[in-house]
Structure 1
Amino acid sequence: MNRSFLALLSLLIFSWGCTPSSEVETVQTHFDFNKNWEFVKDMDTTITPSLFDLASSNLNWKSIRLPHTANIEPLVIEDQQWQGDSFYRKFFRVEPEHEGKHLSLKFEGAMHEAWVYLNGKQVGYHAGGYLPFVVDITDQVSIGGENTLLVRLNNEDNPEIPPGKPMATLDFNYYGGIYRDVYLVAKDPLHISDPIAANRKAAGGVYVWYEDVLSGEAKVNVQIDVENGRATKEDDVRLSLVLSNAEGKSVGSTVSDLSIPAESNRIHTEKIAVKNPELWSPDHPYLYTLTAQLYDGTKLIDSWQQRIGIRTFGFDEENQFTLNGERLYLRGTNRHQDYPYIGYALSNEAQYRDAYKTKEAGFNFIRIAHYPPDPAFLEAADELGLLFMDAIPGWQFYQDGIFAERALNDVRTMIRRDRNHPSIVFWEASLNESGMPDSFMDQAHSAVKEELPYGQNYTSGWRDYAYDIFIPARQHSRPPGYWSGYEKDKPLFIAEYGDWEYYAHNAGFNQTAFEDLTEDERNSRQLRGFGQKRLAQQALNFQEAHNSNLKGPSFGDANWVMYDYNRGYADNLEASGISDIFRIPKFTFYFYQSQGDKNLDEAEAEFNGPMAYIANYWNDPDYTTVKVYSNAEEVALILNGEEIARQGPDTDRISSELKHPPFTFELDEFTPGTLRAEAYIGEEVVASDERITPKEPAQIEMAVDLSGKKIQSGENDVVFVYAHITDSDGNTVWDADQEVEFTLEGEGELIGQNPIQAEAGIATVLFRAGEQAGKVVIRAAAEGLEVGSIELKVE
């Protein structure tokens, strides 16, 4: 009884979390289905009646909440992580108020082969871990009675499921579990269809596109696919559309009367004119809210709501990208979605924090690697102002037959899920670095055009063949010119750079054949613990590569990669991230931050404000090169109160094309004390940074990474908690490597290696919030140091 009551309670108190609130009336149709699951792995997968019976089951079920990973992994995954079979089970009730409704379950992501059973009967099957699927349970669910949902998952290598490549040679991990949200969807049989369940070309759900954006009166075109599952007669309904601005005020609306025959669907299109629209861009990510309401007589029976952004984009006569009529260079990065320990099982808040840090690093673009992201990440990109290249799952693998069919289906599913996001401008309908035949590329390119028939439907691929945009990696060409000599009449975007060409001396892109071709000290794969000289080398590599990219015809580039990540086939981390796996920035992070489109008029700007960063810990007598990253005009370097020099930015070979070259100071000798950089615009100091030579380790000071989102209870929200080993004055001791142990007081749990050795003066643990709001205290202790503590507020 308690189990069923909790499941019912979760349904009653939750409203569709991925849509914005608005004063426009809506009806709740999507209910949180993440709580009160049970999990077991490595068991006999024979489906028996006992699996559906709480009293008779003899498996060792563990109570869990979604999102969930099938296995907590070590920090560094050697060879490959856990792969195998697991079961997820949930007991739930559907109350009599849902009698007669169309009922389904929507899974946003489950890795990667799923069999779904309800009350002993199989009701669904899905292959593919990165895109959603919908299971109709209308005819199998018991209304008012106890129901048992069972999901069997398998995440073993499978050449028929993209990405297809076996884990032993794949350069990233696909983890197990139901790692994204699940919803119970309860709708009137007459309803706005789901784009995934409808499975219709350029249809299903709501599809939005724009015209006359720059005319002063933009046209917002809205196509709605209404489905009548009633079996008896044609129904007359009223369809209302309301477009609200960011303040919740209506700026346009329509009302239409429709007749829809029983057991059929109707696609209807309306147009809303918006005078003097606020246009969405990375510098001004203005979002409207579009609401569709479906009435049967005077009764509101269904609604749909999403934030949208009015914008137009394309390419000029020189194949340069334009947004809202103006050229915009796309300065981007790649991002893998995994966290340490928990794999893909990130909360929506954690997804937002990853996007926030990407924006904070000065980027305006993300080329996702190498699969569609969580919907919450795209919502964050919309809100923060990050342009986006969406991609189907795939990397260095192709196979005719079922694999190819599923990859082509992924193209359509990805677009149907993501087509209304203002952040998305390109569709990577390509299996990255894979030997795709021309026929596959032709079909993938055509699929995008079919799903998005009203223009602004740019495809991209790593092969210079069928796609609208050519997106090679820098290392796919050769030094010294790389892609600067590209002459074809096609937009060029350098989709990866800064890692492999420095790691393998441009020896092609076979990840396993050239592992030992370069010295550790000069490549871009540098952990924070390798020290400041090697971090400076990584930053220099990325600077050189980015400067080279700017010499050619490309309209943008994306570095490899935003965060360090586990590689699946190797016994070390892929460490070319500009931040480490715990999201702690390296020197390279600040190089890119200095390249941002500076907003010098607002000293307190959340992003792209005036900045200065000293890429030197000032703790090594043998390292007296001081590089300062800044977007200012001049930088003065001051040591112990005395100005050493004030100078302009570098003018060397690898700085010639940069928007804001760094400032390099060569000091004759090392003098301990306070090193300060002051950045000038004219005669005004607009930013500064400081390093103080640390003394001996004395204490621990703690911090938490919130990155624009408070910690949420009841969501499996996770945040990084950092323990800085400092001297008695609070200066981080950058070479400290003591073992640190974390303890928790309050609800929640600490996840990860604990105790853990500090890396470059910082030890990190992952905190997962519990079900209840309140305060928790986390402490960190190390031998011989004063204990540190931090109080966290869980909302």
Structure 2
Amino acid sequence: MLLAASLPAAAQTRQETLLTSDWKFTKGDQPDGAKPDFNDGQWQTVRIPHDWAISGPFDGKNDQQVVKIEQNGENNATLKSGRTGGLPFIGVGWYRRQLSVPALGKNGRAVLLFDGAMSNARVYLNGKEVMFWPYGYNSFSVDITPYLRAKGLNTLAVRLENLPEASRWYPGAGLYRNVHLITTPGAHVPVWGTYLTTPEVAASAATVKLRTQVDAPAGTTGLTLKTDLRDATGQVVATATTPVKVGAETEQTFTVKSPKLWSPETPAMYSAESKILNGSAVQDTYRTPFGIRSFKFEKGKGFSLNGQPRKFKGVCNHHDLGPLGTAVSVAALRHQLLLLKDMGCDAIRTSHNMPAPELMQLCDELGFLVMVESFDEWKSPKVKNGYSQYF
């Protein structure tokens, strides 16, 4: 993965850049903050991921809530001071930076992928709003190709707004997870364009099914999808080449002999490396990490993994990193998980929201079963301005 702020002048294959540096930030609303000619020279220079509230100051009056917590057996609403951490996460914040995008070539695409933005994100490119995404915990992506300038730098701006009484814990604030710029050629696998399952697993062999979405200009023909399954050492253990029908999923089935099964004790990982080919020319390469395992939930027996009954030895894990705040840190997450491993923990419930992609990658690597929660609330509210307001 490239970490530079700018890319080469031409992009013939997929390139992905983490937009970590050269961001400007200010707290408070800026009516003209999206305009390319807006002067942000007095704004703070920050790196992403960034939690604007963790530096404080603490105040018990921040997000005071008069609520009745029924799960605690309360019958009357009372004042809750510091329920969400006492930190100043409420309000509006703006981020801006200049964006250099390589020449895309014919039918090339440029996509911004946000791993998380807290919250009510409005994304602007060159003064035009290109995306609104209210939920602070979900990743989202937006194709910015139609909004790019023909030449020169582009201006990227993001407005975030956190409402009071919108959470039951400290949610953090800002672009607290990574932001990616992804450029692809005309024929490519889109963001989250693969779906992989292991429907049959045994000690002697495992079946792996991969469904891949291929996007390409209308009328494109002659493409094939070549996928190699590799083990942790990089050795190819299965391969398939399949004609592609643009606009429909391409399904491939593999047999892996004597597979190394994933479990918390032996977290063996594989990867599917898929290449879109036009003749012998590679148009795009997309990698899907996975583990081979089987699991069941059975009445009277409970949960089993790879045919062996087992109990979850788990914890409920909120997304913040204590005094580090919510800005995602692989080192801090790894430290946290290794401490849990030493305690005998083998499972995590992501209470109560979608986790950072880095956490999921580390759980795969270190051997944690994961119960991924989507929302703390959906239709039934638990707080005045929670996510249920959108339903």
TM-score range normalised by the length of the shorter chain: 0.7 to 0.9
Which amino acid is 2:173 matched to? G
Which amino acid is 1:96 matched to? A
The residue matched to 2:146 in structure 1 has which SS? coil
- How big is the shift at 1:315? 2.8
- The match for 2:160 is 153
- How big is the shift at 1:173? 1.0
- The match for 2:71 is none
1:693-730 Cα deviation digits (max 9, x unpaired): xxxxxxxxxxxxxxxxxxxxxxxxxxxxxxxxxxxxxx
Structure 1 or 2: more helix by fraction: 1
Matched, 1:337 2:319: yes
Q: Judging changes above 3 Å, is the alpha-carbon distance between structure 1 residues 331 and 147 closer, same or farther for their aligned structure 2 residues?
A: same
Q: TM-score, normalised by structure 1?
A: 0.43
- How big is the shift at 1:48? 5.9
Q: Judging changes above 3 Å, is the alpha-carbon distance between structure 1 residues 357 and 77 closer, same or farther for their aligned structure 2 residues?
A: farther
- Of residues 381, 394, 397, the one that matches 2:376 is 394
Which amino acid is 1:173 matched to? Y
Matched, 1:66 2:48: yes
- The match for 2:126 is 119
1:346-396 Cα deviation digits (max 9, x unpaired): 222322222222212211111121111111011111011111100012159
- The match for 1:175 is 172
- The match for 1:255 is 241
The residue matched to 2:363 in structure 1 has which SS? helix
- The match for 1:46 is 31
The residue matched to 1:124 in structure 2 has which SS? strand
Matched, 1:292 2:269: no
- The match for 1:279 is 261
- How big is the shift at 1:236? 1.9
The residue matched to 2:98 in structure 1 has which SS? strand
In 1, Cα distance between equivalents of 2:55 and 2:17: 30
In 1, Cα distance between equivalents of 2:229 and 2:389: 38
- How big is the shift at 1:75? 8.7
Higher-Rg member (1/2): 1
- Of residues 340, 343, 357, the one that matches 1:358 is 340
1:389-433 Cα deviation digits (max 9, x unpaired): 000121598249x955957xxxxxxxxxxxxxxxxxxxxxxxxxx
- How big is the shift at 1:177? 0.5
- How big is the shift at 1:288? 0.9
1:140-178 Cα deviation digits (max 9, x unpaired): 112441111111111123xxxxxxxx15xx431111100
In 2, Cα distance between equivalents of 1:259 and 1:332: 43
- The match for 2:220 is 234
In 1, Cα distance between equivalents of 2:111 and 2:17: 11
Q: Judging changes above 3 Å, is the alpha-carbon distance between structure 1 residues 90 and 321 closer, same or farther for their aligned structure 2 residues?
A: same
In 2, Cα distance between equivalents of 1:319 and 1:98: 57
The residue matched to 1:355 in structure 2 has which SS? helix
Cα pair 1:73 1:342 within 8 Å, conserved:
no
- The match for 1:648 is none
In 2, Cα distance between equivalents of 1:385 and 1:76: 36
In 2, Cα distance between equivalents of 1:74 and 1:150: 24
Matched, 1:81 2:87: yes
- How big is the shift at 1:98? 5.0
In 2, Cα distance between equivalents of 1:342 and 1:85: 21
Which amino acid is 1:252 matched to? A
- The match for 2:16 is 30
Which amino acid is 1:105 matched to? L
Q: How does 1:175-574 map to 2 (within 5 A)?
A: 175-195=172-192, 205-214=193-202, 216-228=204-216, 230-231=217-218, 233-260=219-246, 265-394=247-376, 398-399=380-381, 403-404=387-388
In 2, Cα distance between equivalents of 1:327 and 1:142: 57
- Of residues 139, 153, 161, the one that matches 2:146 is 139
Cα pair 2:117 2:176 within 8 Å, conserved:
yes
The residue matched to 1:94 in structure 2 has which SS? coil
Percent of matched pairs sharing the same residue? 28
Cα pair 2:54 2:172 within 8 Å, conserved:
no
- How big is the shift at 1:341? 4.1
- How big is the shift at 1:325? 0.5
- How big is the shift at 1:184? 0.6
In 1, Cα distance between equivalents of 2:250 and 2:291: 21
Which amino acid is 2:87 matched to? Q
- The match for 2:5 is 7
Q: TM-score, normalised by structure 2?
A: 0.85
Q: Judging changes above 3 Å, is the alpha-carbon distance between structure 1 residues 77 and 394 closer, same or farther for their aligned structure 2 residues?
A: farther
Q: Judging changes above 3 Å, is the alpha-carbon distance between structure 1 residues 347 and 215 closer, same or farther for their aligned structure 2 residues?
A: closer
Cα pair 2:301 2:309 within 8 Å, conserved:
no
Which amino acid is 2:144 matched to? I
In 1, Cα distance between equivalents of 2:342 and 2:197: 29
The residue matched to 1:292 in structure 2 has which SS? strand
Which amino acid is 1:221 matched to? K
In 1, Cα distance between equivalents of 2:106 and 2:51: 34
Q: Judging changes above 3 Å, is the alpha-carbon distance between structure 1 residues 48 and 66 closer, same or farther for their aligned structure 2 residues?
A: closer
In 1, Cα distance between equivalents of 2:182 and 2:14: 9
Runs of 5+ unmatched residues, structure 1: 1-5, 13-25, 158-165, 196-204, 408-795
1:421-465 Cα deviation digits (max 9, x unpaired): xxxxxxxxxxxxxxxxxxxxxxxxxxxxxxxxxxxxxxxxxxxxx
- How big is the shift at 1:181? 0.6
Cα pair 1:351 1:374 within 8 Å, conserved:
no
The residue matched to 2:244 in structure 1 has which SS? strand
In 1, Cα distance between equivalents of 2:238 and 2:53: 49
Q: Judging changes above 3 Å, is the alpha-carbon distance between structure 1 residues 406 and 323 closer, same or farther for their aligned structure 2 residues?
A: farther
The Cα RMSD (Å) is 2.6
Which amino acid is 1:7 matched to? A
In 2, Cα distance between equivalents of 1:108 and 1:380: 16
- Of residues 123, 136, 140, the one that matches 1:129 is 136
In 2, Cα distance between equivalents of 1:72 and 1:138: 34
- The match for 2:113 is 106
Runs of 5+ unmatched residues, structure 2: 61-81
In 1, Cα distance between equivalents of 2:387 and 2:363: 30
In 2, Cα distance between equivalents of 1:396 and 1:294: 39
Q: Judging changes above 3 Å, is the alpha-carbon distance between structure 1 residues 403 and 72 closer, same or farther for their aligned structure 2 residues?
A: closer
The residue matched to 2:328 in structure 1 has which SS? coil
In 1, Cα distance between equivalents of 2:150 and 2:199: 46
Matched, 1:95 2:139: no
Q: Judging changes above 3 Å, is the alpha-carbon distance between structure 1 residues 245 and 77 closer, same or farther for their aligned structure 2 residues?
A: farther
In 1, Cα distance between equivalents of 2:105 and 2:181: 11
Which amino acid is 1:194 matched to? V
In 1, Cα distance between equivalents of 2:264 and 2:102: 45
- How big is the shift at 1:292? 1.0
Cα pair 1:93 1:144 within 8 Å, conserved:
no
Which amino acid is 1:333 matched to? V
Q: How does 1:554-703 map to 2 (within 5 A)?
A: none
Cα pair 1:104 1:134 within 8 Å, conserved:
yes
Higher relative contact order (CA 8 A, sep 6+): 2
Cα pair 2:5 2:17 within 8 Å, conserved:
no
